[in-house]
Structure 1
């Protein structure tokens, strides 16, 4: 079948096509007019996508995630929000609604859940493309009711968004309260250990005391070095004085020894002078010699006394060296003990500092979570509240008629082709050769004349014969 044959079939069966089109359009118009009118109200909201918490000013990377918008849409169309809308509009309190619920579910379930499911079936949540605006639409037979439900969904979504943020903060606040109490107890225990340690060891300021004791240790070290030098020198002088007393500079330079030697020398000179004038038995000579002997004994006694004095000085310096060394050892022990005490106290101080830092952080976090848990700030704002629509959203008569014309045309063409399949006729010159396989010898071009009114005779008209 070519296109020309298709047009011939449609021309021959045009009554069927037109009748089908008319019936389809008429049925569509009747059904559209008989259907109840439905009104659609839309409330638009804006989701803050800046990712900044309005309370704390901190960045919220969760709002920048690709699934954030889909999550908010799921929350809006959740059953929890629908149940809140039912409670807000008090739909379950109507006796008519309760009767419908009993008839529809036979008393199974709750009116609240049943109404929430009905509302969700007529709810549409559509996000705008490439923006943070979301449209919440509800369709119903009453325009005022549709607008009220759409606005109720927007407002309840605002409230539940605040609740979804504040409830975890309230739980976290309770947790931080318990942790703050525990950390406060730990801080008090650490402070009591530090205070007890300071009282037991009599510590007021370890650093100042350690500085004083360290300075004293350095002073004793310097004194020990000086005492060691003086003791070594005194021992050397004592050895020389004990071995060779006359050659010892300490003995020779002693004023007592020098005076004894001068007196002895004068007495010996006098004795020698008397020995030249007098005999050894002369009383004056004997007296002078006795005096010389006495002065020599005095000189020897002074020498021994000076030698003993030099030796005693060495002993005194050695004893002083030993005392300074003992004091130095005791001071070293004291400084080491102070160092050990300081290290132990530093550990306790660190424990107190760590406990204080942990308590401060917990207290700060507790304050922040408590404020966030009590805040009613939200990142959802209602852009355009829903108003009662003036025109019905459905049925759309014009659109339905346009669709019925298209569908009726297709249905009419289909019925024409179906009728042609059951009653095939010759409608062109090619039908004989294609369908009946009969050679065509000629064609008669006959056009029936127009009938005149009140003419009951047989029509006559021109006939033309065309031989092939």
Structure 2
């Protein structure tokens, strides 16, 4: 047998280097549109279902009306008692409008609205617990965790009921910000357009009332506190003024026109002069340290960046700074114009280096001058300190008395200033009680709506149709993705690693095949084209001497392997080849009985002379008509028995020299052991698959576990009752 023919070997797998494969957009789009076309019935059904649901909703839904109003928030207005500071705080906060939205939806404001609308006065509805609550109670009863009923008093029950009514009312409100503006839109949706209008206007009215009440409450509380503080501070001011007058009279301290004693004035001036001298000394030391640091760093950058002020730098240094800055600017222009390596740039840089040295020398001289200046200031400080000691000794008693007097006067003045400030705030707060301003104003009152807010019939239907298309397309896409059946010719190559040999429409299972059509292919171009291709392939693979043994195998029984083998044998015989069709499957005995050129084999375990039987079979194999070999009806062949296998092998070996082609119907792949044994009898095999019925992953796993049959497979061949479905996937 020619099982080592290189043409029958499986092609090596392409190397995978981990790179992302190129995506053919056109192919992807064609595949996607093809899948959607194949699933158009599903997409249409989902779209129609969504449209019907939307239509039912539009026809049965209760009309809802939405009343709208608008407010604008002015952050410059505030009810705070700290009027001048409040606008700045509000303007610095980006959440001004969001804060007002929270106030509009707060429990206090909405509770006022519900009360103003009379919702609390309506009799309660005794509808029992809701369905979710009933289910929850039932589950708790089954689990034995039923909570004890807590008895609520009348007040708690009323509060709980009012809170439930308020929450239910708020479900109809929609309070939003209009984009990035200061405008707040207030809307309420209800079955009653008049109630919706009243609800919106009531919310706005109660919002202003709540804001006014809160501001008025704060103002009154602060007014009461200010009134108490003013009375206390007034008494403290009187006491402080009396203490100052008594101290002056007791110590005979009467100030000059300037308000101070002469000794105090002189001592104060001397102290001021001492402080100024010490400050000058510190500044001189600081400047000297800075210039020393610059000289030590040997860098002119600090001389140019403004570290030395104009009052420190000498005129010569300022002139050097100006010239150096000009050279640096000129260098940039020269480099741009002539390049960094030009002579002009080199001369410029030489001038910079020379001027830099001069600037550093000038800085060193400034250090010396500042040192001399510090010595002079120290001598002045020493003289001033001596003068101060003399003044202190002379004006000690006056100073002590004046210090105590100043302390009393400062205390009295501070209390007087605080008293005046509090008195002004008290008067202002009294005025605020008569006028309250709100940070928001109404720009559009709610009016009864004249259009239905929901349901919107046109929009609902459009959304339903669009949603149906999207949902249907998604389901169709998932069906296409999750469908692991072998439907395309490319599935054989990509999923099983087999060549696609074509499609044979009209092939049926052995039970449904008429014996008269077993060896008569359908007269269609598609069948003729596929069979001629197989004949050409087998003729090329036939060895120079002897017959080519080709097996026909299917994934399972009932996929038309007998009829496929019969058509292939008839086509080969039609090309002047001597062909023998052999099937030892018991289910094929009835189908092959009575066929022209039939030879019935005896039991394989009791076969007589093999050469004689081979001669009889070869005599029936004529050009134009194949010989058909089958087991008698009711007789089964077991190839797992070595004697029967060897008998069949000897028969095929005897036929090799007498005919051109031998077509052997192999057991199905589901019979793994039998098909592996029988595969050793053939030179090659053709896998027949029932289109749309075989699963790729299962079949790939079966072939992967095959050691004998898998290397012999020539390719895969689809069989189907009709080519219509195949064309939808391979058009």
State whether TM-score is above 0.5. Answer: yes
- 1:67 aligned to 2:117? no
Q: Distance in 2 between matches of 1:8 and 1:207?
A: 109
**Residues 79 and 215, structure 2, Cα contact 8 Å, conserved in 1:** no
In terms of mean alpha carbon deviation, does 39-48 or 370-379 score higher? 370-379
In terms of mean alpha carbon deviation, does 99-108 or 394-403 score higher? 99-108
- 1:405 aligned to 2:431? no
2:44 maps to which residue? 18
Deviation, 1:151, is 1.6
2:443 maps to which residue? 383
1:35 maps to which residue? 61
Q: Distance in 2 between matches of 1:394 and 1:409?
A: 23
Q: Distance in 1 between matches of 2:434 and 2:95?
A: 27
1:430–1:356 distance in 2 versus 1, CA, 3 Å: closer
**Residues 51 and 63, structure 1, Cα contact 8 Å, conserved in 2:** no
Superimposed CA distance per residue, residues 58-102 of structure 1 (whole angstroms, 9 cap, x where no aligned partner): 35212201122222121111111111111222221122xx33698
Alignment of 1:78-89 (within 5 A): 78-89=106-117
Superimposed CA distance per residue, residues 14-41 of structure 1 (whole angstroms, 9 cap, x where no aligned partner): 4444333222211221023212222222
1:58 maps to which residue? 84
- 1:370 aligned to 2:398? no
Q: Distance in 2 between matches of 1:350 and 1:422?
A: 96
Deviation, 1:188, is 2.4
In terms of mean alpha carbon deviation, does 403-412 or 346-355 score higher? 346-355
Superimposed CA distance per residue, residues 371-413 of structure 1 (whole angstroms, 9 cap, x where no aligned partner): 2344322121001011121122222222221222123234444
2:188 maps to which residue? 138
1:429–1:372 distance in 2 versus 1, CA, 3 Å: same
**Residues 169 and 373, structure 1, Cα contact 8 Å, conserved in 2:** yes
In terms of mean alpha carbon deviation, does 12-21 or 62-71 score higher? 12-21
Gaps of 5+ in 1: 215-335, 445-462
Question: The residue matched to 1:439 in structure 2 has which SS?
Answer: strand
1:163 maps to which residue? 213
Q: Distance in 1 between matches of 2:400 and 2:442?
A: 69
Question: RMSD across aligned C-alpha pairs, in angstroms?
Answer: 4.6
- 1:187 aligned to 2:187? no
Alignment of 1:57-456 (within 5 A): 58=84, 60-64=87-91, 65-95=93-123, 98-99=124-125, 107=157, 109-194=159-244, 206=254, 348-413=408-473, 414=475, 418=479, 439-440=501-502
* Higher Rg: 1
May I ask how many residue pairs the two structures share in their alignment?
A: 322
Q: Distance in 2 between matches of 1:2 and 1:128?
A: 44
**Residues 223 and 426, structure 2, Cα contact 8 Å, conserved in 1:** yes
**Residues 36 and 476, structure 2, Cα contact 8 Å, conserved in 1:** no
Q: Distance in 2 between matches of 1:363 and 1:157?
A: 33
Q: Distance in 2 between matches of 1:161 and 1:130?
A: 24
Q: Distance in 2 between matches of 1:425 and 1:398?
A: 44
In terms of mean alpha carbon deviation, does 5-14 or 109-118 score higher? 5-14
Gaps of 5+ in 2: 1-26, 134-151, 263-395, 507-522, 530-731
Question: The residue matched to 2:446 in structure 1 has which SS?
Answer: coil
Deviation, 1:48, is 0.8
Question: The residue matched to 2:225 in structure 1 has which SS?
Answer: helix
Question: The residue matched to 1:86 in structure 2 has which SS?
Answer: helix
Higher RCO (CA-CA < 8 Å; seq separation 6+):
1
**Residues 9 and 417, structure 1, Cα contact 8 Å, conserved in 2:** no
- Which one has the bigger helix percentage? 1
**Residues 158 and 378, structure 1, Cα contact 8 Å, conserved in 2:** yes
Q: Distance in 1 between matches of 2:206 and 2:503?
A: 85
1:173–1:439 distance in 2 versus 1, CA, 3 Å: same
| TM-score, scaled to structure 2 | 0.38
Q: Distance in 1 between matches of 2:180 and 2:75?
A: 11
Q: Distance in 1 between matches of 2:39 and 2:417?
A: 96
Q: Distance in 1 between matches of 2:459 and 2:172?
A: 21
1:75–1:32 distance in 2 versus 1, CA, 3 Å: same
**Residues 443 and 465, structure 1, Cα contact 8 Å, conserved in 2:** no
**Residues 65 and 193, structure 2, Cα contact 8 Å, conserved in 1:** yes
**Residues 489 and 500, structure 2, Cα contact 8 Å, conserved in 1:** no
**Residues 79 and 436, structure 2, Cα contact 8 Å, conserved in 1:** no
Question: The residue matched to 1:66 in structure 2 has which SS?
Answer: coil
1:338–1:206 distance in 2 versus 1, CA, 3 Å: farther
Deviation, 1:13, is 5.5
Superimposed CA distance per residue, residues 91-121 of structure 1 (whole angstroms, 9 cap, x where no aligned partner): 21122xx336987799574333222212223
| TM-score, scaled to structure 1 | 0.56
2:584 maps to which residue? none
Q: Distance in 2 between matches of 1:3 and 1:13?
A: 15
**Residues 51 and 464, structure 2, Cα contact 8 Å, conserved in 1:** yes
Question: The residue matched to 1:44 in structure 2 has which SS?
Answer: strand
Superimposed CA distance per residue, residues 206-234 of structure 1 (whole angstroms, 9 cap, x where no aligned partner): 4699x9xx9xxxxxxxxxxxxxxxxxxxx
